[in-house]
Structure 1
């Protein structure tokens, strides 16, 4: 029998469906093992980058609970993670374990040939840099050095890759109030050379703080800077300059294209994007920068605004003829450190959107929840990126994936910025010793789905709850509270990331009453975690962050959790309420 067919040879009496691979608008992948949240180094604005993607392979770097720097590798989109501990590199060139200092961040990139470059664990230290011995191999490393010039006091390492494969490395040499910014370059297969000092601060007894260092799809290099005098603090950051280069760092221009003398100095006027007061400008250093499809710069930063004044997020951008300053948030948060936002990141997409990511760790009803704001064309549409309180985590993006794949990849974890004193909302810094981590991805071609709230974002969903009645504590060693029969994980949770959170209110006749969570795995392995201290003056409810279980489901078995309490010798603790929750990560998790 003969059938009528179309120009492609398909029968007209039937229809065929062409199978296409489905790409979710958002995806989520747990990182193996635990991440340290005792400081902010796994999620700070100058991590450039903590994730890097090339040739369909993705690499990530994080500090674990022991302070070791772990490099992870997977094949996109859903490959399993393999890991390597950089503490084991001969001679320990990264001087691990990490100092408990948020400045000692992780910055890495995979270059055009597949070599992985890592600079990490520095706050005014001699350059610490390693490179993979072989392309796309995380198991063998070398410490080749770089240029040997101006590398004695390094902080804020940043990588960026040019479309032609040229690799750039930016860093500060010096200290707060007394630093210079340098830029190094490495041609494909070549040696490192120093292009020179990009911004000078030592000569004038101040420090230029750099924004994110970006390279556009057209190959334009760009950076913005703010300035701090010696002896100052964040409240003395002042003014914003912007410079760009269209010849890979040989010469530099302002936003309008006029030549700028390098090294840039604070007194320069033709590269100034924003003039501010010398104090209380609201600027917090290391803010966000990107270039749009027309190579126009867009800066996201905190500025003092409104009558308060308040420290709000602003969008400072070049419209082709002038700088425009638009206020994005209206937080009514004052200028104090307690209510600061995180330093914002900004992304200009291939489709022409401008997106800002930030959170407010200690203020408002959505505290600690990373948010994404679409500010394209002056509008402001805001949605959560991850519906979990991540405290002080600052969002940074994988620069290569954003430019080359039109995808956002960012690392999420709980982070604690208060290193010496965990602060009123942290209770015990050990609640952050072994936290969780994950990579979240967003397909920018489908960003509208997220902005319309049609996509499920990751969240921790409570699945079991246990509470204990009013009770007293007299033991000086940890014992189960009366009525704390315990929560038992169920077989369906095996292999999943499961969390616990403790909330309570208690007081004591003296000393400290401590409530904690006890976790014991089927077979006997156990630990104590999730501690909250209470004193005689305690009057408010206190809660730990969500803390991942270390045993049980992680090891494909079950675990029992109980609430334990103890009190200082000779005193009595009174527990008015104690609630233990068990939660599981929900949303686009794989």
Structure 2
């Protein structure tokens, strides 16, 4: 079993290599294939904390979305250019709340795991009835422990084929981070941590995580003191080298018990009322150094920022390409001029290019890419990847596919978000996967 995921990765990489790394023609920068029509009256299908919105196992790619009737729709295709197969499941979600996104993963034996419709309510989780199937079995519990107030379900694949599942138990400003692990061989869940990050009934952690190619699990978060987003502060960090069992600081010092505000390692200190956003993204370079993306206000401008580890020292990179600022405050899903950023690293021929995928009202709300070779002193370059206005979309890409092939596949849908869980009257809009040939963009920037 420990070798199974590795073999699958080799099959995936080899299969895509036969068809070109990005599974599209070398002369083509973008390629898009529509899947179906999805709910668009708010951003529930495109919120960034979907983990995952799209994922690949072997050469089969899966995605999910809510349709206009709030049903969970599952879809799959064979890479590089197979047709999409859809299944409108019996399961529905409260699509009027943009928190209630669908997250999915595929384990080392090819079973699809899906969790959906959560914002401080009981666990909704189901698994496919067979490997690579779009048919889900009955909804059921994982461990039965602390599954009554679930928010932000997120799956993460481990190299041995097992799957991690993270979620918040509690509520905004008061909650704990719970971590479960699925044993693929025995087809069972067990709880690794009932309280991995403890808000001590005073705050809660809004996190993002990443599993690197060596299998290390990286976790970063901001603290929030209340329901109000303006009380977000600081960026903290922890990592696990044993699949989530134990957690340590970058120095190797092990965390003893739940991680709290006073015991956490801080990658960067940011005060409250800085328009610091929560639930963004992170990644690592090929040696396992973590990179964390966020945005906050500096000198009157809201800028995308990268906090990263280099030679054991935390550093910060200000992208500095935005020329305006705004103030974050209040609760609920916000209508914000920019999206939260997705982050990737493209290492090739001695270059170490850091890329941000985002949406900005000042650029016409298009899908945009900002990038820079960190080994140079050049400014960040910005390129729009779409001509059309994408509304209040936030980026999600196929991290399992990118991790092993450098093929970047984005979940795409135009959506509209009204501030504070409001609903627009927008009709269903096309859901698609946008394939991006990074080599064309990063080696031919003009």
Q: TM-score range by the shorter chain?
A: 0.7 to 0.9
In the alignment, which of 306, 311, 316 is matched to residue 325 of structure 1?
A: 316
Q: Which deviates the most, 215-224 or 322-331? A: 322-331
Structure 1 residue 142: Cα displacement:
3.0
Q: In 2, distance between residues paired with 1:450 and 1:170?
A: 34
In the alignment, which of 219, 224, 229 is matched to residue 223 of structure 1?
A: 219
Structure 1 residue 283: Cα displacement:
1.1
Cα 1:449/1:390, change in 2 over 3 Å:
same
Structure 1 residue 358: Cα displacement:
1.2
Cα 1:42/1:28, change in 2 over 3 Å:
farther
Cα 1:76/1:205, change in 2 over 3 Å:
same
Q: Map Cα deviations across residues 445-484 of structure 1 (whole Å, 9 max, x no partner).
A: xx231235679xxxxxxxxxxxxxxxxxxxxxxxxxxxxx
Q: In 2, distance between residues paired with 1:97 and 1:324?
A: 41
2:339 is the alignment partner of 1:342: yes
2:77 is the alignment partner of 1:74: yes
SS at match of 1:156: strand
Q: In 2, distance between residues paired with 1:388 and 1:305?
A: 30
Structure 1 residue 44: Cα displacement:
0.8
1:119-138 matches, within 5 Å, as 119-138=115-134
Q: Map Cα deviations across residues 138-166 of structure 1 (whole Å, 9 max, x no partner).
A: 13423242011111111111111111112
1:385-424 matches, within 5 Å, as 385-418=385-418
SS at match of 1:436: strand
Please list every run of 5 or more consecutive structure 1 residues that lacks an aligned counterpart in the other structure: 1-19, 423-427, 456-590
Structure 1 residue 208: Cα displacement:
0.7
Q: In 1, distance between residues paired with 2:381 and 2:183?
A: 41
Partner of 1:313: 304
1:70-149 matches, within 5 Å, as 70-86=73-89, 88=90, 92=91, 96-149=92-145
Partner of 1:235: 230
SS at match of 2:276: coil
Bigger relative contact order, structure 1 or 2, given CA contacts below 8 A and separation 6+?
2
Cα 1:66/1:195, change in 2 over 3 Å:
same
Q: In 2, distance between residues paired with 1:400 and 1:32?
A: 20
Q: Is the 8 Å Cα contact of residues 252 and 262 (structure 1) preserved in structure 2?
A: no
2:57 is the alignment partner of 1:54: yes
Please list every run of 5 or more consecutive structure 2 residues that lacks an aligned counterpart in the other structure: 1-17, 329-334
Structure 1 residue 221: Cα displacement:
0.2
Q: In 2, distance between residues paired with 1:65 and 1:30?
A: 20
Q: Is the 8 Å Cα contact of residues 74 and 82 (structure 1) preserved in structure 2?
A: yes
1:563-574 matches, within 5 Å, as none
Partner of 1:294: 287
In the alignment, which of 346, 369, 373 is matched to residue 370 of structure 2?
A: 373
Q: In 2, distance between residues paired with 1:166 and 1:195?
A: 13
Normalised by the size of structure 1, how large is the TM-score?
Answer: 0.66
Q: Is the 8 Å Cα contact of residues 289 and 297 (structure 1) preserved in structure 2?
A: yes
SS at match of 2:404: helix
Q: Is the 8 Å Cα contact of residues 354 and 373 (structure 2) preserved in structure 1?
A: yes
Partner of 1:436: 430
Q: Which deviates the most, 54-63 or 350-359? A: 350-359
SS at match of 1:71: strand
1:469-548 matches, within 5 Å, as none
Partner of 1:268: 263
2:46 is the alignment partner of 1:43: yes
Q: In 1, distance between residues paired with 2:389 and 2:228?
A: 28
SS at match of 1:392: coil
Q: Which deviates the most, 398-407 or 186-195? A: 398-407
Structure 1 residue 335: Cα displacement:
2.4
Q: Is the 8 Å Cα contact of residues 39 and 419 (structure 1) preserved in structure 2?
A: no
RMSD: 2.1
Q: Is the 8 Å Cα contact of residues 97 and 421 (structure 2) preserved in structure 1?
A: no
SS at match of 1:395: coil
Partner of 1:244: 239
SS at match of 1:401: helix
Partner of 2:273: 280
Structure 1 residue 54: Cα displacement:
0.6
SS at match of 1:349: strand
Q: Is the 8 Å Cα contact of residues 44 and 99 (structure 2) preserved in structure 1?
A: yes
Q: Is the 8 Å Cα contact of residues 158 and 171 (structure 1) preserved in structure 2?
A: yes
Q: Is the 8 Å Cα contact of residues 226 and 240 (structure 1) preserved in structure 2?
A: yes
Q: Map Cα deviations across residues 62-113 of structure 1 (whole Å, 9 max, x no partner).
A: 1111111100111111111111112x2xxx4xxx243311100110011110
Partner of 1:199: 197
Structure whose CA Rg is larger: 1
